[in-house]
Structure 1
Amino acid sequence: MIGNGSSNDGDTRYGSGQLLNDLMRYLGLDRPKEERSRRVKLMFVGDMAQLPPVRGSESPALSLEFLQSQYDIRVQRYELTTVVRQTEGGDVLNLAYEARQRISAPEIKPIADSFGGQVYVSNFRQAAIDIVSGINQGKSVMAVVRTNAQVSRYNMTVRRYLWGRHCMNIMQGDTLLVVKNNPLLDLPNGELVQVVGANLKQQRERLVGHNGCEVQLNFRGITIEISNADGGTEFRPILVLENLLYNNRTNLSQAERWALVELVHKRHRYISKESEAFKALLATDPFYNALQVKFGYALTCHKAQGGEWSHVIVDLEGKPLMTQNDWRWFYTAVTRSKEALSLVNLSACNWVEANQRAS
């Protein structure tokens, strides 16, 4: 997804903070036509029916009008209609088609067609069991939900089934979600990684701010399995920051971000925080660049975009689908599935027949 909204993540900023503008500037397409030194062809591929970038009302990279007016370039648009992810005429595809139709004409009228063999009506407990079963069988299963609070609920429940009620530590076999770009480790925000080893001992660093408040940073050494450029996999020992693991937050607090910088400065007091030398230290320091993660058994719909899984669980939290954005969210979630789809916490005003069959 290429957005053009300003993005400034804590103390780290990439380019102008506007990805589309940065891309156009790199290609020289931000200049007046007479100053462009080379011909450039650029192709954006996406689904206009899916959710736009976070906090956006549209996908600027897919907007013919925006690209023409903003960059004075000639744009051609084509629509692909051949289905490649699901089987033509399959149950998941039929439901996705119905949802796509509702985007242009939102209505509360229940979807009339009954669900087929690939689409199941489920509940929260069964959904968590299905995720665990998929893990044990080596299958890809993911819950797609509305809120970070619901993400945490799924993560904690799945881990309780996997490791027991009292297990809090990261375990070998856990799935983690990267929640902040990490250039040092070359791992982007949204990447899912598998844990193949984890230290039992957590490293805690306590720092006291100018206001006298103590900030604790929790680190742990783990080994992850990741894909490499050759299409294979490799094992990589890394340091993770655990401050976001057990709450609903996806970003560090201002105090925690200060503490990360101060942790580096504490070891290099002779170097000014404002100097280029200190910035160079931050770029390579293993603690400052510790991977910020959450458990990865459930994702919000924006985080799930671009991913696909054999079995997708869509939890609507009992909220009705009434607006264009509601149906866009649902369409995006449904189309993450390659084979099977479970629907959890359906609203009666959208799913009368489904609720009758589930009861």
Structure 2
Amino acid sequence: MSMNLSKDQKNGLRLLREFVGQVSTRVFILRGPAGSGKTTILSELIADSENKFILCATTGRAAKVMSYCVRSEATTVHKRLFNVSVQDGLPRFKNKDEWVEGVYIIDEASMLQNEQDESLLEAQSMIGIIIQRIKDSEGSKVIFVGDPYQLEPVGEKESVALSIEALTRHYEVSAMSAELEIVHRHNACSGILNLATSIRHRHKGWTLNDFEPTEDVKKISRTILLQRLRQEVECNTFHRVKYIVATNRTANEMNYLIRSQIQGFPTDLSVNDRLLVVQNNTFYTGKGTAMIANGEDCRVVELLGVVESIGGGIVDGKAYEPYLFQDGVIEVKTLDGQFKQKRVKLLLNPMFSSTSNLNPFEERRFYSFFARRNPKGAIYNPYYRALRVKYGYVLTGHKAQGGEWEVVFVDVADWEVSPFGYRWLYTAVTRPRTKLYLVMD
């Protein structure tokens, strides 16, 4: 064994080896909080096993991180399982006919949907498709990997992929499991670790007021938020600092406030603005650059020309907002941690939306509009394939999931009445590497 593993990591690795070496059980669940070493033991498993492993993740950002950590290519679950088709004017995912036998490792599995996925051509759940493919392929298995305390899929009440009981109840499968409990990312005296542990093992009646500030966890009021943000940005720059809030609407409002009050930017997009990618994009991949993934940060290096306004006006008596595009050069981070510049076309409409991306109606109209303008279809139109972005200074807990930054501010004023409750709070407070600010009121 090439790494120094803790007791629970050794036990997890032993169970994983047992799982891939036998034939009766086809599903394994590897659970553990952020920083517990799940990727570490998976790297060991892959390195010393002759099995074929297929690496996937639920998001593009998680797939890129997994590729870098495991030193093997990972793709999104959607790319591995589906081809793109079109139905009712919208791109839909259709099951691929081909299936590669092997051990599928799916990271960030807490986000896997168990409800029917509207983006699929047939009414199926993502977990259901995976389980059925595993059942139908004698030489295949799946390892679901994730943090059971993080946010469940949007609109669902549990993370089915990380629960033996739930998988058995829904899909009548047996599974093995291992749970890593010790967090190695922070030292034992870390306030961030102690707060996360308190949330995970909370006692009845526990509130944030019971948590005493520490050297790395501070409680601040909203009145000094911008002052502290400015101080941290001056020390770390914005790509190492994030502010996490509950809703897209609040994120939009705070993004504009921070741009104005801290960055000194005008209303319009500016050079050096920080952007958040809101949809995976493979159009701008090239040598040394994987796809630009949903949830990734990037920086505006140069703006080319003026904003293009396309498609607005009155149609059948109804007014439609135009689509707004801006050509420019952005800086993105590669898998090896370097920064690379890419010329792109940006779609700006998500910046003004109270949702994370275009809503279903807007998506359908967007696709149809550009499909009519290219004989091969919308996916060949450079405007349709534009990089979709929001401002990236502030993001929601769901967008933050799977990310990590040096310093994180978390708006906790309304977390107790949030429909996501403790899971939202836990997900948010486990994002920082070194310092956490709790914005209390």
1:322-358 deviation digits (Å, cap 9, x = unpaired):
7994222212211112111111134xxxxxxxxxxxx
1:71-113 deviation digits (Å, cap 9, x = unpaired):
44431122112212222221111111112122xx442566435
Aligned partner of 1:202 in structure 2 is 307
Letter of the 2:381 counterpart = D
State the distance in 1 between where 2:399 and 2:166 align: 25
Partner secondary structure for residue 252 of structure 2: helix
Cα contact 1:29–1:71 (8 A) shared by 2:
no
Q: What pairs up with 1:1-359 in 2 under 5 angstroms?
A: 1-8=111-118, 18-25=125-132, 28-31=133-136, 36-38=137-139, 40-102=140-202, 105-107=203-205, 111-139=209-237, 140-164=240-264, 167-185=266-284, 186-199=291-304, 201-207=306-312, 208-229=314-335, 232-253=338-359, 256-257=362-363, 259-265=365-371, 267-268=373-374, 278=375, 280-317=376-413, 319=414, 321=416, 325-346=420-441
TM-superposed deviation, 1:138: 3.5
Unaligned runs of 5+ in 1: 269-277, 347-359
State the distance in 2 between where 1:263 and 1:323 align: 37
State the distance in 2 between where 1:236 and 1:115 align: 42
Letter of the 1:112 counterpart = D
Cα contact 2:246–2:396 (8 A) shared by 1:
yes
Partner secondary structure for residue 248 of structure 1: coil
Partner secondary structure for residue 244 of structure 2: strand
State the distance in 1 between where 2:389 and 2:403 align: 18
For CA contacts below 8 A with separation 6 or more, give which structure has more relative contact order: 1
More strand by share: 2
Cα contact 1:312–1:337 (8 A) shared by 2:
yes
Cα contact 1:204–1:217 (8 A) shared by 2:
yes
State the distance in 1 between where 2:367 and 2:419 align: 43
1:152-190 deviation digits (Å, cap 9, x = unpaired):
12211111134426x122222222112233343433332
Cα contact 2:298–2:333 (8 A) shared by 1:
no
TM-superposed deviation, 1:41: 3.5
Q: Percent identity?
A: 29
Aligned partner of 2:82 in structure 1 is none
TM-superposed deviation, 1:21: 3.3
State the distance in 1 between where 2:295 and 2:188 align: 29
State the distance in 1 between where 2:364 and 2:344 align: 22
State the distance in 1 between where 2:121 and 2:243 align: 30
Instruction: Give the total of aligned pairs.
Output: 322
State the distance in 2 between where 1:14 and 1:304 align: 29
Partner secondary structure for residue 306 of structure 1: coil
Letter of the 2:321 counterpart = V
Letter of the 2:138 counterpart = S
Aligned partner of 1:275 in structure 2 is none
TM-superposed deviation, 1:306: 0.7
Letter of the 2:379 counterpart = A
State the distance in 2 between where 1:125 and 1:291 align: 35
Partner secondary structure for residue 78 of structure 1: strand
Partner secondary structure for residue 126 of structure 1: helix
TM-superposed deviation, 1:46: 1.5
TM-superposed deviation, 1:68: 3.2
TM-score computed with the length of structure 1 as normaliser: 0.79
State the distance in 2 between where 1:184 and 1:16 align: 28
Cα contact 2:371–2:377 (8 A) shared by 1:
no
Aligned-pair Cα RMSD in Å: 2.9
Cα contact 2:272–2:301 (8 A) shared by 1:
yes
Pick which of 60-69 and 307-316 moved more.
Answer: 60-69
Cα contact 1:178–1:189 (8 A) shared by 2:
yes
State the distance in 2 between where 1:15 and 1:48 align: 28
Cα contact 1:311–1:339 (8 A) shared by 2:
yes
TM-superposed deviation, 1:216: 1.1
Cα contact 2:242–2:393 (8 A) shared by 1:
yes
Unaligned runs of 5+ in 2: 1-110, 285-290
